[in-house]
Structure formats: C-alpha cells, structure tokens
C-alpha cells in the first residue's frame, strides 16, 4: 500500500468486524514539544495508542491526562504503575478491564513493566499490551518471553502488543516475538520503515504485533507523509518516530 491516503479509517464493517487504527509511540517522558506530539497523534486518528516512556514521577497522572486530552483520547492504563508503558484509547473502545504489570527487577538496570487491558469494539474483544523492553540483551530476551507468556494467557480472541523493542528485526528478542506473533510492518508495509532516531532514522526498533485467527493487517509504517503530519512536528515531538497500523479484527462467530 503506497498511497498514504489509502490507510483505512476506523469503522465497523457490516458483518460486525472492526477496522481499527493502532499507534505505537515512545514519547521520551514528554521532555520535548508536547504540542507537536499531540498534533502528530491527532493526525494519525488512532483508536489505540501504545505509549512508551510516559511520565513516571511528579504529577505523572496529570501529565498523561493532559496529553490524552490534547490528542482527543482518554487514559486507559499504565504510566508510573507500569514503569513507563501507557495505553490511550478513543471513546470508541469499551474498556472491560486493565492491569499494570511490573517485571522482575535486575539490580543496576531500569525497572520495566507492561500496561495491559482488554477492550471491545462493538462485539470484537481484543487484549492489549504496551511494552518497552530492556537495553540489556539478556534481560530483553527474558522480557520478550514474559510478553509472550502474558499474551498466551489472554482472555480474548485477539491480541495487540506494541512498543519499543530496543532491537532491530534481525535481533534475537525481536525475532522471538515475530516467530509467535505477526509483525505488522512485515505483513503489510506502508509508509516509512525506520523509527529511530527521529532526527535522522537509521533503524527500526519499534513494532506493532498482532495475534488471533483471521486478523488482517491492512498497513503498517511510519506515517511521515500522512495528511496533517509535518516533518518538523515529527522531529520536535520526541526522539522516536511513531508507528501506525490499520487492522481488521473479525467479528465473533
């Protein structure tokens, strides 16, 4: 899919299946241009935003709520209680439950966690997980396995996991995830590929993964040329570029 205007908009199909837009975005604790960040998110028109490096300290809930409001979204789960990962959603999503998960702490390394939830779009139920994996390769692999374990235990027919993998697709942890889940960028390339650094990207270390029978990836990539997005905003918003995916989730049988 080469035409950026062709990425499907969110909708419910006549058969009850849900077409949704999913955005994964490392926002570097809102240390950059928050207004530019909000403009980028709004232009992507996402139903779900999988955030990494959300604010974790003083008044972190207020900061997360402010960003959500500027982006025309609401806070779903995560933040400091998940050690940084955060989930935002549109009012189209009906929230069934949320849970913030702290991962085992390796002495001397940064604490990591998952922001998780189960939501519905009409009758379509989907489990969500936002993650920011370790910079340490051994810990990163262990966290990839924990992510997969979490999704195997989900109480929903479909799952979406997205985040900053801190590794390219050729790496062992990324490959481990892609062996069990569908890497949306590989399944349906659209837009740009490289996600870091935003000032001059030279690698893809961010990903959106899906699982579940019948899920269709309609397109996934960096929305650099999407109508309403400016290159100056992408560079000013944070040090990562966002990754946007459109998915079709089948209606329950």
pTM exceeding 0.85: yes
Within 8 A by CB and 6+ apart from 148, the residues are 176, 177, 180, 181
Residue 125 pairs in a beta bridge with 120
Within 8 A by CB and 6+ apart from 145, the residues are 176
Q: Rounded to whole angstroms, how far apart are CA atoms 222 and 192?
A: 4
Q: Rounded to whole angstroms, how far apart are CA atoms 188 and 19?
A: 15
Q: What is the CATH architecture of 10-249?
A: 4-Layer Sandwich (3.60)
Length, in residues, of the chain: 253
Within 8 A by CB and 6+ apart from 71, the residues are 38, 41, 42, 49, 88
* pLDDT tens-digit profile, the chain (253 residues): 444 557 989 999 999 999 999 999 999 999 999 999 999 999 999 999 999 999 999 899 999 999 999 999 999 999 999 999 999 999 999 999 999 999 999 999 999 999 999 999 999 999 999 999 999 999 999 999 999 999 999 889 999 999 999 999 999 999 999 999 999 999 999 999 999 999 999 999 999 999 999 999 999 999 999 999 999 999 999 999 999 999 999 999 8
């Amino acid at each position: 899919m080469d035409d950026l205007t062709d990425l499907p908009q969110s909708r419910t199909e006549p058969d009850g299946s849900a077409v949704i837009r999913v955005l994964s975005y490392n926002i570097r604790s809102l240390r950059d241009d928050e207004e530019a960040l909000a403009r980028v998110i709004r232009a992507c028109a996402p139903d779900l935003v999988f955030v990494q490096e959300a604010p974790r300290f003083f008044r972190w809930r207020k900061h997360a709520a402010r960003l959500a409001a500027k982006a025309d979204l609401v806070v779903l789960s995560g933040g400091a209680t998940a050690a940084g990962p955060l989930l935002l959603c549109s009012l189209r999503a009906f929230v069934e439950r949320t849970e913030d998960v702290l991962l085992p702490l390796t002495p001397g390394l940064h604490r990591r966690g998952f922001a998780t939830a189960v939501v519905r779009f009409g009758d379509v139920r989907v489990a969500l997980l936002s993650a920011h994996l370790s910079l340490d390769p051994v810990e990163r692999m262990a966290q990839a396995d924990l992510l997969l374990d979490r999704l195997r235990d989900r109480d929903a027919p479909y799952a979406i996991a997205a985040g900053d993998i801190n590794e390219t697709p050729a790496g062992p942890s990324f490959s481990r995830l892609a062996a069990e889940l569908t890497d949306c960028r590989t399944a349906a390339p659209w837009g740009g590929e490289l996600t870091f650094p935003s000032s001059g990207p030279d690698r893809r270390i961010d990903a959106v993964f899906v699982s579940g029978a019948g899920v269709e990836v309609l397109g996934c990539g960096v929305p650099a040329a999407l109508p309403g997005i400016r290159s100056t905003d992408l560079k000013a918003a944070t040090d990562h570029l966002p990754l946007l995916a459109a998915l079709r989730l089948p209606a329950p049988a």
